[in-house]
C-alpha cells in the first residue's frame, strides 16, 4: 500500500537535515560512551593511586618507627660529622710542629754543625747554625740548598769567630 503523506512538504525536515541529525545523535552516543569509559578509567586510576599512596604512607610510618628506634645512632652520627667538621677546621690552621721534623731532617747526619738558636712562628723559621769546621759549613749550605725542605731561604747574617767557628743565620719559609 502506498504511503500517503498528507502534511505539507514544508512541515517535515529535509532529507539532509534528517541525515545530519542522525549523525549528531550517533556522535552524541559515541561521545557519552567515551565519557563514561573515561570516567571509569579515571576512577580506576584514582583508586589504584589511593591504594598505592596508602601503602607508601604505611611503609613510611614503618621506616620512621625504625629510624626512631635508631635515634641514638643518628645522634652519634650527627656528633661525628660535627666533630669532623671542627677537626678539619683546626687541622687547617697553622701548625709549626712539623717544622721540628724538618729541622730533624736537616740536621740528621750533619757533623760539626749545631742549631744554636731558632724561632719558629707561623711558617717562618729564623735559624742560627754554628759550624765548627769549614767542611761542616759546606755540608750545611749544601743540605740547605738540596733538601727542598723550605720554600725560600734567606741568609740573614754570616759571621766567623776563630774560637767558635762559622755562625750562619737564615730565615726559612715553610714549604
Q: What is the CB neighbour count within 10 angstroms for residue 10?
A: 7
Stretch that binds another protein, among 47-55, 134-142, 155-163, 165-173 (CB under 8 A): 47-55
Residues 128-167 that bind another protein (CB under 8 A): none
* Minimal distance, residue 122 CB to another protein, in Å: 8
Number of chain positions touching another protein (CB under 8 A): 77
The reply to whether 33 sits near another protein by the rule CB under 8 A is: no
For the segment 112-131, give every residue that binds another protein (CB under 8 A).
114-122
User: Taking a C-beta distance cutoff of 8 angstroms, is the pair 168, 110 a contact?
Assistant: no
Min. distance of Cβ 71 from another protein in angstroms? 7
Site stretch for another protein (CB under 8 A), options 25-33, 132-140, 152-160, 167-175: 25-33
Give the SS3 label for residue 69.
Answer: helix
Q: How far is the CB of 28 from another protein (least distance, A)?
A: 5
Shortest spacing between CB 111 and another protein, in angstroms: 14
User: Which residue's C-alpha cell is 729564623?
Assistant: 126
At 43, list the grid cell: 576512577
Burial 41-65 (b: 16+ CB within 10 A, else e): eeeeeeeeeeeeeeeeeeeeeeeee
Q: Which of 37, 101, 155, 156 binds another protein (CB under 8 A)?
A: 101
Output the CA–CA distances (angstroms, integers) from residue 121 to 114, 118, 155, in the order listed. 20, 10, 18
CB-CB contact of 154 with 170 (8 Å): yes
> Please, which of residues 52-91 interact with another protein by CB under 8 A?
52-53, 56-57, 59-60, 63-64, 66-68, 70-71, 73-91
Q: Are 104 and 120 in contact (CB under 8 A)?
A: no
> In angstroms, what is the minimal distance from the CB of 128 to another protein?
9
Amino acid at each position: 500500500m502506498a504511503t500517503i503523506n498528507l502534511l505539507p512538504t514544508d512541515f517535515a525536515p529535509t532529507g539532509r537535515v534528517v541525515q545530519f541529525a542522525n549523525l549528531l545523535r550517533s556522535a552524541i552516543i559515541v561521545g557519552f560512551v567515551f565519557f563514561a569509559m573515561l570516567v571509569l578509567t579515571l576512577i580506576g586510576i584514582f583508586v589504584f593511586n589511593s591504594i598505592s599512596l596508602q601503602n607508601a604512607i604505611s611503609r613510611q610510618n614503618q621506616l620512621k618507627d625504625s629510624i626512631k628506634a635508631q635515634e641514638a645512632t643518628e645522634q652519634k652520627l650527627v656528633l661525628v660529622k660535627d666533630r669532623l667538621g671542627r677537626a678539619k677546621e683546626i687541622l687547617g690552621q697553622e701548625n709549626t710542629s712539623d717544622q721540628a721534623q724538618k729541622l730533624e731532617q736537616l740536621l740528621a747526619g750533619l757533623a760539626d754543625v749545631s742549631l744554636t738558636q731558632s724561632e719558629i712562628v707561623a711558617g717562618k723559621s729564623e735559624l742560627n747554625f754554628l759550624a765548627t769546621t769549614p767542611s761542616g759549613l759546606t755540608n750545611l749550605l749544601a743540605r740547605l740548598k738540596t733538601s727542598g725542605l723550605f720554600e725560600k731561604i734567606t741568609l740573614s747574617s754570616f759571621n766567623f769567630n776563630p774560637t767558635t767557628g762559622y755562625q750562619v743565620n737564615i730565615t726559612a719559609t715553610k714549604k
